[in-house]
Each structure stands twice: as C-alpha cells, then as structure tokens.
Amino acid sequence: MTDQPQTPTVSGIKITVVSIGKQRTVTIPAGSTNADALTAAGFSEVGYALTLNGVGTQLHERPDNGDILALTPKVDGGC
C-alpha cells in the first residue's frame, strides 16, 4: 500500500479494496459507489462490515480517488 493518493485517470478513480488476506486495486468510473468498487474487485456485497479510510461506510456512499475500502467479515452468534 502507498500513503499517497493516486492521480485520477481519464477513465475513473483508483480504489484499493482490502479484506483478510486479499488486496485489489481497481479503477471505477467517477461517481461510482462502494458497491461498484466491491463488484469491480470481485467481492460480494453481503456479509461484510465496511470502512472507508478507517471510518464506517455504507454500500451507497461514493469513494474518492486513492481511498481504501476495507471489508471485515461479519460474525453472528452468541450464547
């Protein structure tokens, strides 16, 4: 990972999507949503809690160029 945001390209913005043991950088059209970034990176939209640059986020929100979208698997259960 780099600490510097990447420059937007003509075709869109670069987003890094990370999950346990996986990291993918994808280019998506400007104005795309977090859900679009997940799809482009090959991840499911269900079963994860999302953070964008360390702050909780939702599927409908729009990332910016150079953002890091992190997926944490949801854990259900209890006694």
Matching residue, tokens 């280019």: 27
Q: What is the pLDDT of residues 27-59, one digit of tens each?
A: 999 999 999 999 999 999 999 999 999 999 999
Spell 34-68 as b/e; 16+ CB within 10 A means b.
bebbbebbebeeeebebebeeeebeeeebbebbbb
What pTM, to 2 d.p., does this model score? 0.80
List the domains of the chain with CATH numbers. 13-73 (3.10.20.30)
Q: What percent of the chain has pLDDT over 90?
A: 76
Beta strands in the chain, from DSSP E residues, in sequence order: 13-19, 22-28, 48-52, 55-56, 68-73
